[in-house]
Amino acid sequence: MNIDDIFAEIILNKDEQQIVDLAKKEVMTAPLLITQMLENSDIKSESVLIKFSEQSPLLLYPYFTYIAQASERYNNVIAWNSWKIIANLLIVDYLDLWQDIKERYFKTFESELITEVLNSISVAKTIIDCKPDDKDTILRLIRKCGDNNYTICDEPAPHINTVAKQAIDEFFTNL
């Protein structure tokens, strides 16, 4: 397949698993998906990349640093979900690229946005399993995020702390 055909398949195909299967066969699929995610804030491409990272992390790992760029982007949804991809890639992190971005991940636990914190908690077990040296730091940060000053539309929302504390309890129950 040429690059135009791959791009058309990404854009037109509604079946994300078929796009994942294409990425496993066609080497140019992953870079196109990453470009769509980074430059166009394309949620579909990001969703495909999450599935791809779950199924074939070694094939996606060469693009780790590009995917990590998404965690710095303005678009919060893309940034938050990029941690799901990154967490899945850590199982094959033979270059220890995690060291370059882990402080950025740790910082997410201090967020005023509950969605960001909940997403960070949701990938914590995967990260701990792959990077056990960071376990104590991650557990400490999770315990502390129940006391964050959460906001909704830039207004204080102390009632959201209940949601955070429930997520924390659930995390430790399932750890």
75: alpha, beta or left, given left = phi > 0 and alpha = psi -120 to 50? beta
**C-alpha to C-alpha distance for 52 and 142, rounded to whole angstroms:** 27
* pTM, full prediction: 0.92
Per-position pLDDT tens, the chain of length 175: 888 989 898 888 889 999 999 999 999 999 999 999 988 888 899 999 999 999 999 999 999 999 999 888 755 888 988 999 999 999 999 999 999 999 999 999 999 999 999 999 999 999 999 999 999 999 999 999 999 999 999 899 999 999 999 999 999 999 8
Tokens encoding 61: 């790992």
